[in-house]
Amino acid sequence: MKRQLLAILMMSAAMAVPAQADITGVAEDAPIPADTGIKLAPGFRATVFADGIGAARHMAVSDNGWVYVALMKPEEGFGAVALYDSDGDGKADERVPFARGMSGTGMGINDGHLYFAEDERIMRWPLPEGGAPEGEAEMIVEGFPNKRQHSAKPFTFDSDGHLYVNIGAPSNACMEKMRTKGSPGMDPCPILEEFGGVWRFDADKAGQTQVDGMRYATGIRNAMAIDWNPHAGALYIAQHGRDQLNSFFPDMYTEQQSAELPAEEFHRVEEGADIGWPYGYVDPDIEGRVLMPEYGGDGKATTDRGQEPLIAFPGHWAPNDLLFPRSEVLPAEMRTGAFIAFHGSWNRAPKPQAGYRVVFVPMDEAGAVSGDWVTFADGFAGEGPIMSPRNAKHRPTGLAEGADGAIYISSLMSGGRVWKVVYEGQ
């Protein structure tokens, strides 16, 4: 029965018939190629770009083809690494560590600078011609409080010089007592004043702190997946939904419901938006947002606080990065869509864990979803079912696009790996 559950979820992803866009996902029954460990949508080919680089997170690629990777744990004392494939075989042969004594998740390039985010601060260097950045980093935003839970600071830029930073809520459901059975949710949730949203800063100004920023959107538990959609000119995020419905409300949620709920939400985020955490969550079978049980919900009653997502993805898949491709290399029907890397669940136990994949969402130029999402890359975790997350061989954690249209995918498991995925045509 457990196998059936996974099979159904996977099949519905792979067989989804797009409404307008003609995009085929990964063939569900395809074997996992031994050389790369991942299987891809038809027309794409992968190489293992780099192996054993450490706990790889988000990435950025310069126009010269240097790939900059943030590391969640220092690797031999460095918190980031620059990679380069000088002979064009799809495998990096140069590897230059940087960010000594640091570690972090966010990495990005904007206006001739390389930006890197530790959990407490965001810094930048002039983007080098090649290799690692040199000299002292310039601090752009400093002094984020680090409360451990959801403390990573992924970021993105718009085209007007703004830096958008996810400041995750150090909380599961804004309970009075952290993750404690029977503890009610606080209303209003005081955490939202400093956390649980996206703050906007000046991308070009040194020495800012959080108060210099503007709270652009709120009610976001944690959005590791955040990117500016250059076609629609709008911010998009995918949120990590809350955990442990069954642990705290065993009479209301079975283990199976707790594994499936809540949905992971994909949103377009306008200035001033309130997504709805912690007051509600999304159940794909219920119209509107379901009132959080910590706030008096019974699993059915809804709340009008918050906005509806564009897509409700299966529960606990953990969206860890979002990428709107910008090159003209992908097939036409993919150029305005979005890639989302799901690093895979831990909160589905005792049911099999799930997610470990990269999906593609077809979207039109205005930023509306134009068809059903498909699985773009799969097999990261190895042959399933994965009952315990430690058994997942790889978990996709970051996405980036090269100027040549190649898609890079990172994983922090098994020593850390980056794949390069290129489109070769049908």
Query: What residues make contact with another protein under the rule CB under 8 A?
Result: 1, 4-5, 8-9, 12-13, 55, 72-73, 148-152, 177-181, 243-244, 246-247, 250, 254-257, 260, 263, 282, 284-285, 308-312, 314, 346-347, 349-350, 369, 372-373, 387-391, 395, 412-413
Dist CA 396 CA 37 (whole Å) = 12
CA 108 to chain centre: 14
Contacts of 279 (CB under 8 A, 6+ apart): 185, 187, 189, 219, 289, 291, 292, 295, 303, 305, 306
How many other C-beta atoms lie within 10 A of the C-beta of residue 304?
11
Contact 346, 392 (CB under 8 A): no
Looking at the Cβ atoms of 159 and 254, the one nearer to another protein is 254
Contact 394, 357 (CB under 8 A): no
Looking at the Cβ atoms of 69 and 72, the one nearer to another protein is 72
Query: C-beta of 69: minimal distance to another protein in Å?
Result: 16
Dist CA 146 CA 266 (whole Å) = 26
How many other C-beta atoms lie within 10 A of the C-beta of residue 34?
6
Query: C-beta of 282: minimal distance to another protein in Å?
Result: 8
In 3D space, the residue among 197, 213, 340 whose CA is nearest the CA of residue 273 turns out to be 197
Contact 340, 361 (CB under 8 A): yes
In 3D space, the residue among 219, 200, 79, 209 whose CA is nearest the CA of residue 139 turns out to be 209
In 3D space, the residue among 65, 128, 71, 116 whose CA is nearest the CA of residue 92 turns out to be 65
Contact 245, 293 (CB under 8 A): yes
Looking at the Cβ atoms of 224 and 226, the one nearer to another protein is 224
Query: C-beta of 82: minimal distance to another protein in Å?
Result: 23
CA 340 to chain centre: 6
Looking at the Cβ atoms of 186 and 387, the one nearer to another protein is 387
Dist CA 60 CA 237 (whole Å) = 18
Backbone angles phi, psi at 416, to 5 degrees: 90, 135
The total number of residues shown for the chain amounts to 426
Query: C-beta of 374: minimal distance to another protein in Å?
Result: 12
Query: C-beta of 311: minimal distance to another protein in Å?
Result: 5
Looking at the Cβ atoms of 57 and 162, the one nearer to another protein is 57
Query: C-beta of 129: minimal distance to another protein in Å?
Result: 34
Contact 238, 320 (CB under 8 A): no
Query: C-beta of 170: minimal distance to another protein in Å?
Result: 8
Looking at the Cβ atoms of 90 and 284, the one nearer to another protein is 284
Query: C-beta of 344: minimal distance to another protein in Å?
Result: 10
Looking at the Cβ atoms of 230 and 352, the one nearer to another protein is 352
Looking at the Cβ atoms of 383 and 390, the one nearer to another protein is 390
In order of 10, 26, 55, the CA distances from 411 in angstroms are: 21, 19, 7
Query: C-beta of 396: minimal distance to another protein in Å?
Result: 14
Query: C-beta of 287: minimal distance to another protein in Å?
Result: 9
Parallel, antiparallel, or unpaired: how do β-strands 122-126 and 417-423 relate? unpaired
Query: C-beta of 112: minimal distance to another protein in Å?
Result: 32
Backbone angles phi, psi at 69, to 5 degrees: -120, 125
Looking at the Cβ atoms of 12 and 209, the one nearer to another protein is 12
Tokens of 68: 């900059």
Looking at the Cβ atoms of 57 and 124, the one nearer to another protein is 57
Looking at the Cβ atoms of 204 and 285, the one nearer to another protein is 285
Dist CA 35 CA 300 (whole Å) = 47
